[in-house]
Structure 1
Amino acid sequence: MSLTYLTTDELSGRIKYDPRTIRERLKDSVLIEGRHYIRPFGGRKILYIWEHIECDMSDQSSHAFAIPMANGGVCHG
């Protein structure tokens, strides 16, 4: 499978979030290194993996009415 790598500005255009919000609020809390983004060649540049982000965004929207539990699970009640 071929993956699509995006810069912060390119991702911003796709998900309609400000690049600063992505860097300061989403990165490392919602977007996880190794799953949603990589640092190629061990550098400072960050490339986001669009297919993983898109999959997790659509998966989360199907659980919109779930209540998060302390152990990491969710309650659908």
Structure 2
Amino acid sequence: MAATYLTTEELSDRIKYDQRTIRERLKDSVLLEGVHYIRPFGGRKILYVWERIEEDMAKSSLNTFVIPMSNGGVCHG
């Protein structure tokens, strides 16, 4: 399966979140390295894997019962 890789700007356009919000609040709490994004060739550039993000967004909208956690995440109970 071929993956669609997006820059932060392109992801921002698709999910309607500000680029800064993606970098500072979603990355490493909701969007995880190796799952939702990669750093090609070990560099600083980040590329987001659209299919994984889209899949997880759809899953989380089905599960409406969540418990907020102090670190900003949620527990799906």
Query: Common fold, TM-score beyond 0.5?
Result: yes
TM-score (norm 2): 0.87
1:27-71: per-residue Cα shift (whole Å, max 9, x none)?
00000000000000000000000000000000000002x13388x
TM-score (norm 1): 0.87
* Unmatched tracts of structure 2, length 5 or more: 70-74
- Distance of 2:19 and 2:68 partners within structure 1: 30
Bigger radius of gyration among the two: 1
Partner residue in 1 for 2:25: 25
Q: Tell me, what secondary structure is at the counterpart of 2:54?
A: helix
- Distance of 1:51 and 1:60 partners within structure 2: 14
What is the percentage of aligned positions where both structures have the same residue? 67
- Distance of 2:76 and 2:57 partners within structure 1: 17
Aligned length: 72
Letter paired with 1:20: R
* Unmatched tracts of structure 1, length 5 or more: none
Q: Is 1:67 paired with 2:66?
A: yes
Q: How does 1:26-45 map to 2 (within 5 A)?
A: 26-45=26-45
Partner residue in 1 for 2:72: none
- Distance of 2:24 and 2:40 partners within structure 1: 20
